[in-house]
Structure formats: C-alpha cells, structure tokens
Amino acid sequence: MLPDMSVYSDPDEVLARVRDDIAAAQRRAVAAGEVRDRIDAIRGRASSPRGDVLVEVDVSGRLTDLELADEALDRGGRELSRLVVELVGRAGAEAGARAVAAMEEAFGADDGASAHLRAEVAQRWGATP
C-alpha cells in the first residue's frame, strides 16, 4: 500500500507547517532554558524540631548550607549525624517537589520531561511529589 501523499500536495502548506514546527521548537528551547535556571536556583530547607539544626540543599541534594546551634552539639555525634542525614532527605524531597512543580508549570504535567523529572525525584528521595 502506498503512503498517503495528499498531505504533501500543497508545497506552501507543507512549508508553513515546517515553519510552525521550527517556531514551536524554538519556543520550547527558550522555555527549557528558563525552567533550567529556575530549577538551578531552587533550594530545600529542613530544620530539627528544636530548631538547633538547619540544612539547605539544592535539587540534586548537594548541601548548600548547614547551621548548627551550640545546643546541637549536646546531642552527641551519632544523633547529630543521623539528624543531619534525615534533614537532608526532607530538604531534598522539598526541593525535588518544587523542581517538579516548576517543570509542570512550564511544560504541563503530562509532558515527557515533567514525567522524567518526577520519576527521578521519586527515585532519589523515595516519594513522588
């Protein structure tokens, strides 16, 4: 069976469609750069119930800030270490959820890039935002 060639019968129409596709791709590329910049600036923060330990991480989970009040040292090394790891996880999940929200705002929840980021965040932080 031969392919339907009727869609190619009007060269001007085909050219217009190609131009529209190129313009749409250029708009998406601009939007992708903007959302990347927004995501790069996202930080998640979490603090201990007593407020003596505060962590801040970027979307990848890299620690960008750690504040320890003098009272935090009274917890002892093991408890303090466990608490910092727990807080990094909470802060990372927050940052991940905010990154997914930014991606979905830019491209929609059903977009492949949004779905990919949502899955990546779920894998890294153990929950789907």
Note down the domain range covering 19.
Answer: 10-125
Residue 89 lies in a domain: yes
Cβ-based burial of 5 (10 A; exposed 0-12, middle 13-18, buried ≥19)? exposed
Q: Using one digit for the tens of pLDDT, what is the confidence trace for 77-122?
A: 999 999 999 999 999 999 999 999 999 999 999 999 999 999 999 9
Tell me, what CATH number does 41's domain have? 3.30.1310.10
Query: What order do you get walking across the sheet with 43-47 strand by strand?
Result: 43-47, 53-58, 63-68
Distance CA 4, CA 73 (A): 74
Residue 3 lies in a domain: no
Residue 77 lies in a domain: yes
Q: Using one digit for the tens of pLDDT, what is the confidence trace for 51-85?
A: 999 999 999 999 999 999 999 999 999 999 999 99
Residue 5 lies in a domain: no
Tally of structural domains, the chain: 1
End-to-end CA distance of the chain: 48
Q: Per the structure block, which two tokens stand in for 46?
A: 């979490």
